[in-house]
Amino acid sequence: MANNSVSLHRVVKASPEKVYRAFTEAAAMASWLPPYGFVCIVHEMNAEKGGSFRMSFQNFSTGNSHSFGGVYVELKPNEFLKYTDKFDDPNLPGEMTTTVSLRKNIAGTEINITQEGIPDMIPVEMCYLGWQESLDKLMRLVEPNIPDA
């Protein structure tokens, strides 16, 4: 892990189309993005170049929450996303940039994520741990193939 950045890699048993949808649909993001012990409210999500998003994560134990938002810088359907994040809390200054690359492979989809510009107040190891938990939840969302009833 470089200073103020994390990189993650996963292979999931799902198509790039399904994984991409999980990154661009509000209900999906709310279900998998918050780490364990948090709930997510998506206030706004316009997943297109120049579009913005706003979300809040709430600690389920304490009820405390923090909100953040950003802008979609680049999207290539089923292949790539790049977006910015900025916390509303002035104690967490700066802007983060997250890139997500998706590549079809024999097992499903290879996911590579890099998040840069993590505020100094957030231990990088905790951010990495949070992403690992989120990606576990992402896999549980996209891997099941449940037929219509």
Is residue 16 within 8 Å of 142, Cβ to Cβ? no
Q: What is the pLDDT of residues 106-136, one digit of tens each?
A: 999 999 999 999 999 999 999 999 999 999 9
CB atoms within 10 A of CB 20: 22
Question: What does 15-53 look like in DSSP terms, one character per residue?
Answer: -HHHHHHHHH-HHHHHHHSSPTTEEEEEEEE--STT-EE
Q: What is the pLDDT of residues 44-70, one digit of tens each?
A: 999 999 999 999 999 999 999 999 999
Decide if pLDDT at 1 tops 60: no
pTM check: above 0.85:
yes
The domains found in the chain, sorted by start residue, are 5-142 (3.30.530.20)
Q: How confident is the model at residue 2 (pLDDT cuts 50, 70, 90)?
A: low
Q: What single DSSP character describes residue 89?
A: S
**What is the mean predicted confidence (pLDDT) over 83-94?**
92
Decide if pLDDT at 72 tops 70: yes
How far, in Å, CA of 8 to CA of 89, rounded? 26
